Structure 1
């Protein structure tokens, strides 16, 4: 599990959609939802991001090591 502060939602979602496996959004109640190529969920996240003045804190579970490294590489380059 990783926690990220998303500052550039468009690039983050592009990175997520380029992943080959699930990218699970973790909720405080323990639920998981895969956001990879699930555009309805992504639109909800984008709405929350805009309401929060272009910042969104997310907890993610990324089971595939290659996808995990892809998102970490995006995140370290975006900060």
Structure 2
């Protein structure tokens, strides 16, 4: 699990959509939901991001090490 503070949602979602495997968003109640190429969910995240003044805290479970490294590399370069 990784916790991120997203400051550039469009770029983050582009990185997620380039992943080859599921990228699960974790909810406080323990549910998981794949956000990779799930455009309705991504639209909801973008709306929350805008409501939070261009900032959004997310907890992710990224089972694929390759996809995990891709998202971590994006995040460290974007922040």
| Smaller-chain TM-score bracket | over 0.9
Q: State the Cα deviation string for residues 35-74 of structure 1 (Å, max 9, x = none).
A: 0000000000000000000000000000000000000000
* TM-score normalised by the chain length of structure 2: 1.00
Q: Does 1:3 align with 2:3?
A: yes
Q: Distance in 2 between matches of 1:6 and 1:28?
A: 17
Q: Does 1:69 align with 2:69?
A: yes
SS in 2 for 1:37: coil
Q: Distance in 1 between matches of 2:49 and 2:78?
A: 16
Runs of 4+, deviation exceeding 2 Å: none
* TM-score normalised by the chain length of structure 1: 1.00
Unaligned stretches of 5+ residues in structure 1:
none
CA-CA distance at 1:21 after TM superposition: 0.1
Q: Distance in 1 between matches of 2:10 and 2:28?
A: 24
Unaligned stretches of 5+ residues in structure 2:
none
SS in 2 for 1:57: strand
Question: Match for residue 47 of structure 1?
Answer: 47
CA-CA distance at 1:3 after TM superposition: 0.1
